[in-house]
């Protein structure tokens, strides 16, 4: 991967040119033909996937259909750089795609070779995950507040 290509991806926006060079050397490229999978639902999540060119459809067996899509330059699986678990969806190429993957072991090398870059990437992932958690909690908060409206004790959720 070329270091300049990382500039397009939000997780790497705060890295210096030198840090992007180090990070770029750790990615593995894969080209996907239409309909080929980047990964399958239920497989072990092994790291971050950057979609450099094309579009991925996200399919779930739980809903028996397409649950979303990504277009370049986007990413998925950032949390799997830090946690073990199974993929929640299958990612399928919707036309030709180019993806780059960064494994947990490559992240460890990045942190060793450039601690500042490793920290910045970890901070960007944490910020993204916190934003997603807040977004998911907002509807729950509004519902909970509506449930307690009229209660004498606002701390009571009974």
Widest distance between CA atoms in the chain: 60
- How confident is the model over 67-78, as pLDDT tens digits? 999 999 999 999
The residue ranking higher by pLDDT, 82 or 150, is: 82
Residue 13 · residue 46 · CB < 8 Å: no
Angle of the 104-113 helix axis to the 115-148 helix axis, nearest 10: 120
- How confident is the model over 11-37, as pLDDT tens digits? 998 899 999 999 999 999 999 999 999
- How confident is the model over 83-95, as pLDDT tens digits? 899 999 999 999 9
CATH of the domain at 35: 2.60.120.10
CA-based nearest residue to 48, from 20, 73, 83, 76 = 76
- The answer to whether residue 153 is domain-embedded is no
Host domain of residue 32 = 3-148
Residue 119 has pLDDT above 50, yes or no: yes
The DSSP result for 69-90, as a single string, is: EEESSEEE-GGGGT---B-SSE
The domain total for the chain is: 1
Phi, psi (rounded to 5 degrees) for 148: -95, -5
Residue 119 · residue 65 · CB < 8 Å: no
The pLDDT value recorded for residue 137 is 76
């Amino acid at each position: 991967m070329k270091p300049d290509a990382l500039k397009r991806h939000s997780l790497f926006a705060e890295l210096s040119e030198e840090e992007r060079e180090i990070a770029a050397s750790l990615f593995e490229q894969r080209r996907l033909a239409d309909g080929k999978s980047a990964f399958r639902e239920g497989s072990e999540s092994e790291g971050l996937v950057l979609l450099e060119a094309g579009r991925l459809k996200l399919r779930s067996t739980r809903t028996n259909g397409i649950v979303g899509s990504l277009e370049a330059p986007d990413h998925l699986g950032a949390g799997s750089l830090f946690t073990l678990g199974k993929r929640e969806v299958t990612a399928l190429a919707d036309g030709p795609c180019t993806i780059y993957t960064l494994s947990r072991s490559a992240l460890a090398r990045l942190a060793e070779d450039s601690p500042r870059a490793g920290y910045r990437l970890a901070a960007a992932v944490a910020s993204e995950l916190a934003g997603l958690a807040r977004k998911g909690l907002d509807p729950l908060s509004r519902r909970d507040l509506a449930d307690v409206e009229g209660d004498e004790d606002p701390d009571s959720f009974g």
